[in-house]
Structure 1
Amino acid sequence: MTLDVVDLRSFYDSPLGRATQRFVGEVVRARFASCVGQSILGVGYAAPYLEMFRGDALRLLAFMPAEQGVINWPVPGPSASALIETGMMPLPDSCIDRVLVVHALETAEHPRDLLAEIWRILTPGGRMLAIAPRRAGLWAQLDTTPFGNGQPYSRSQLRDLMRDALFSPTQWGEALYFAPFEGKLVLRSAPLFEKIGAKLALPGAGVLFVEAEKQLYRPVGLRRAAPALQPLPQVLGTRPAGIAPG
């Protein structure tokens, strides 16, 4: 199921959405701590998390899938958002230092094509941080938040997806240990749940983080040897064309 940009914006404007932005944003900021003078691209609906890099990054862009829709971002100033086809991004090769993928992998029709295009535009040694709903988490089981839509992932599924697209996973993380409910008690106790869940690595997290580096060379696998050429069988009483009988 594809998420609509209006629904995504409404979610992040809600109390639950603001709590989500806070706790997911803390992990994003920690992973992309050194980004001064770098180009950062958000793919999917990353606008709420790109705000924290304004003033540090050299360039910020927000690419939103055509099936999702697009909003103007940032609200003040020239727009840095664009509606794109995820398999054909309007950027040259090796021009982006960091890519943040959120609300994109789980709804992409062809996630490998999306990752292949991200690989193309990343600089050598460039890094991608992908956020996806955790298959075993409560957030993926309820469709009351954006993380309950589309295809959730396990860690092994994300690892295989990254390696197929020539990315080397370097860091893993989780977040959203609190329940995805709007109740005041839930939201008030959310910071405690996040602190305990992260410290003890509890199994109830709602989203997975994987930071991966662009792999420059495709691993060389073993190839089966081509079968040796065999002489054509000679049929009794025939001779190769062009040779007269002796």
Structure 2
Amino acid sequence: MSDFAKRLTNMFKRAGLSSARVSELSYDYGVDTSKKTVEAYRSGQRTPSPDFISFALAICGEKDANMLFSDNPNKIAKAEQAKDEIMYIDAFSMPAGCGSTGVFDNNFEVENRLAIHKSVLELYYPNPKFIKAFRCFGDSMEPEYYDGDFVIVEMVAGRHFQPIDGIYVFRVDDTVMVKKLAFLGKKVKTISMNLSYGEFIIDPEVDNFEILAKVCGKLSLKSGLLLSDQGIN
């Protein structure tokens, strides 16, 4: 086993992360890596990419690549360069209900951070400070969004925008949902992609209704990362 593999293994052990858990987190961070591949990195049979190294440092709470590459300054430089090329999107702990109920958190507590290559994100959003993520909870938006997928969104955040028909994360009272919304004059119709779920009408003048964000992409375990230019601008 190489010195690097030993350091990587020890770093995961200190963080209490098994190979299976590292693999699970890698999908959340967009650095899809199987358990078998993680074990090959830990044993020294394979050499991880700079993106995986940046991800590994992040989930272990380490900021300095020197701890892994103290004997190889070229690899340190590559790891640091990879960090600069990655942007992290906050993923909120409150889920967006898709047939199941997501409960509104006024503090917008962040549960996770998704790693996305900067060039990919900036292709659609040159100023991505309003780009966040919610985890889907339920099956009412299948086959477009599956339970456990992350919807990538552009937060409204109190900004003025002209609502147009599309997929939004919104709340009614304390219930957070992701649905397709059709704006019908003063009322709003909600539409599920899964046709086994019915539609319902929201009256913003009566219901405690608030649009939180417009969906502009997803990070899916089935299809990977997909982005569009369908933000609120």
Q: TM-score range by the shorter chain?
A: under 0.3
Larger radius of gyration: 1
TM-score by length of 1: 0.25
TM-score by length of 2: 0.26
Greater strand proportion = 2
